[in-house]
Amino acid sequence: MWTTPTPTPISNPYLYFDHISNHILINQILLGGNIEMKICFKLHNDNMNNHIHNDSNESSSSTSVAPVLRPHTGGDVRWEAINSVISRDGEIGLSHFRLLKRIGYGDIGSVYLVELRGTNAYFAMKVMDKASLASRNKLLRAQTEREILGLLDHPFLPTLYSYFETDKFYCLVMEFCGGGNLHTLRQKQPNKHFTEEATRFFTSQVLLALEYLHMLGIVYRDLKPENVLVRDEGHIMLSDFDLSLRCSVNPTLVKSTPGQGGNNIGANGSGMVEDDNVVHTSSSQTSNFFPRILPSKKNRKTKSDFGFLVGGQLPEFMAEPTNVRSMSFVGTHEYLAPEIIRGEGHGSAVDWWTFGVFLYELLHGTTPFKGQGNRATLFNVVGQPLRFPESPQVSHMARDLMKGLLVKEPHKRIAYRRGATEIKQHPFFEGVNWALVRSAHPPHVPEPIDFSQFASKDNPAGGPQSSEKKVTENNKSSSTDPCYANFEYF
């Protein structure tokens, strides 16, 4: 019988090194919840070729995703509904769902509000037409999104409840967010921009989501208000991962310097880490997260048991995929990073550029480099300096953070080396309790959706066929819609 070896503490109460499995283990409080996780970074090179993605093949082959309970969604009635259907019928498919309303569409598919028949459980289902994907060489993008969704277990990222396919369609069954997206919510604000307090709330949660993605070796590449959904309780969820890039990542434990502690940037203002500060680093290998429930509190050691404080400073854990390089030209015009436009190749720093544009838009109601047209916008991104309008007024701390993020040379950009850790320490986020972000009071709580408006217009005998017909018709209409603003070149 297998036994679990006792990990060895490595100068941090939340970090352990398991000499037998060659893992770094992180005890992470799940953002205000009562569950804690042990996250394992696999530092060895198992099946490396099946995990690293490049421009020619940014996805690996995998089988259909089976429903796996995520620790942070324990007690979710939607899991119970999905599992009850699978237990009864052995599988789940399009015939088990009632399509209620199309709620969005994009370059590779449409998203529907659906009800799992006989359960009163509602989901968002992304439906992608196989023939359309194949004809436009988008199959790998759809597969990459499915694989990424299957990895995620985070309060500000979507849960994949099930995946299946029919003769015509690929279908992803995900969490439904009833509050719309931040773009729509911003348009409803006075003067069409958020207050600094509301902006801090939303961006802190987006930052934690990006940090988690980077730890998994995922570069998001598509941050914008339209892709930040608002849950029923007012917290956010990132969506759309079909432009994301999977890559290798180097987990690193770094000694804090006095200039990096607290809510300050590095002592020299650059936020860069000197080589002699690195106390543990792996070679360039992939990382996988394996959630495990921690032992009971009575068996855990306290901070004082480890003697990890040296000079009053905590070590910092970083897992920023700084070595990734992609030549793909993907994104939305106003959010594109300069290195993408210049065709120089890009890495994870593009997410910190888009985070800066995102912050700017929430505070000012517009993006910083928007031109009269797409060509003018791209020219401004590359050639024009960052400017701030006279109104609305924002704090010096907010401007300073935006200036650090919207640096045109990626290696000089804040968070280029230290990732989200450096942004968290910026004075703009002073006072944010990062362990309890999910417990913060949202600035906006959406009105609950009245699902009774969808009460049964269903024909049980013709439901599955009518659902597939409806999907086919909607996909045809969206493919010719001129309003879709995203673009992609390879």
H helices of 303-419, where? Answer: 338-341, 349-364, 374-383, 396-405
Q: What is the spatial distance between Cα 361 and Cα 373, in angstroms, rounded to a whole number?
A: 18
Q: What is the spatial distance between Cα 254 and Cα 241, in angstroms, rounded to a whole number?
A: 30
Q: With contact defined as beta carbons under 8 Å apart, do 128 and 144 qualify?
A: no
Structure tokens belonging to residue 402: 């935006």
H helices of 167-292, where? Answer: 182-187, 196-215
Structure tokens belonging to residue 381: 């991104």
Smallest CA-to-CA distance from 165 within 64, 283, 77, 67 is with 64
Smallest CA-to-CA distance from 281 within 35, 452, 43, 75 is with 43
| CB-count exposure of residue 264 (10 Å: 0-12, 13-18, 19+) | middle
Q: With contact defined as beta carbons under 8 Å apart, do 382 and 341 qualify?
A: yes
Query: Taking the CB of residue 485, how many other CB atoms lie within 10 A of it?
Result: 11
Bridge pairing between strands 316-318 and 252-254: antiparallel
- DSSP structural state of residue 261: S
**Residue 80, H or E segment:** helix 77-89
Smallest CA-to-CA distance from 121 within 72, 161, 149 is with 161
Buried b (16+ CB within 10 A) or exposed e, 94-106: bebbbbbebbbbb
Kindly list the catalytic residues: 222
| CB-count exposure of residue 365 (10 Å: 0-12, 13-18, 19+) | middle
Contacts 24+ apart (CB under 8 A), 457-465: 458/98, 458/117, 463/95, 463/98, 463/117, 464/94, 464/95
